Amino acid sequence: MVGRGIIIGVISFLTVAAQAQQWPFELWHEGKIVLVSGDTLKGLVKYDLEQDLVQFNDQRENIVAYTSRKVLFFEIFDNTQKRYRNFFALPYAASNTNYLTPIFFELLVDGKMTLLTREALEYRTYSSPYYYGSYTRLVLVYRFYLMDEKGNINQFMGKKAELLSMMGRRADEVDRYMRQNRLKIEDPTDFTRTIAFYNSLF
């Protein structure tokens, strides 16, 4: 009975923690928005990558929402991550079409190979260390995109070997760097370090 009570307590804790979780896109951040019109808005900013919207609040008037078609880029200081984050509205052909439409991407690394990302919420299933079976949890995931020097953007869903094949004669140097630093491209920070190192070779 004691073991069962511990299990129930752990499950309850996980449930409450999930409910209490606040995602970065649910919060207002200090930042600025630069519009296609040339205007710059400084104040509180909230973003929604799922809808490709960004909201602005100057704390004096009504909150105004802008679509990615009206925005060049926006910048926020994310208190949850303790860093500045930059988002750009870039033309992208979604849904296997050739029609380009601007959507928001977060810029992670700029250079010969530019690394972009878009975050989203997904339910993931995990094995439980406390009882036989598994549990489902809502987590924040990152989808990575690579932009070439011509501005073409493609989602990257491959593995390390595919990434290295794109790096040509620099592949061995990058592979050695990744192994020495135990970097995994599934991790946003590690992927950022990998692409930044590759760009530094030019």
Q: Tell me: the pLDDT tens digits for 103-158?
A: 999 999 999 999 999 998 888 777 777 667 777 888 888 899 999 999 999 999 88
Q: What is the mean pLDDT of the chain?
A: 86
Q: Where are the domains of the chain?
A: 24-87, 110-202
* Residue 136 and residue 148 in contact, taking contact as beta carbons nearer than 8 Å: no
**Looking at the DSSP assignment, which residues form a beta bridge with residue 57?**
44
pLDDT band at 9 (very low <50, low <70, confident <90, very high): very low
How far, in Å, CA of 153 to CA of 89, rounded? 12
Residue 151 · residue 161 · CB < 8 Å: no
Beta bridge partners of 114: 147
Least Cα distance to 107 among 118, 116, 98 occurs for 116
At residue 8, does pLDDT exceed 50? no
Q: How many other C-beta atoms can be found within 10 angstroms of the C-beta atom of residue 115? A: 25
Kindly tell me if the per-residue pLDDT of 201 is higher than 80.
yes
Whether the per-residue pLDDT at 6 is higher than 50: the answer is no
The class level of CATH for 24-87 reads mainly beta
3-state secondary structure 55-103: EEECCCCCCEEEEHHHEEEEEEEECCCCEEEEEEEEEECCCCCCCCEEE
The 3-state DSSP class for residue 108 equals strand
Could you give the CA distance from residue 139 to residue 40 in angstroms, rounded to a whole number? Answer: 33
pLDDT confidence of residue 21 = 65
pTM recorded for the entire structure:
0.81
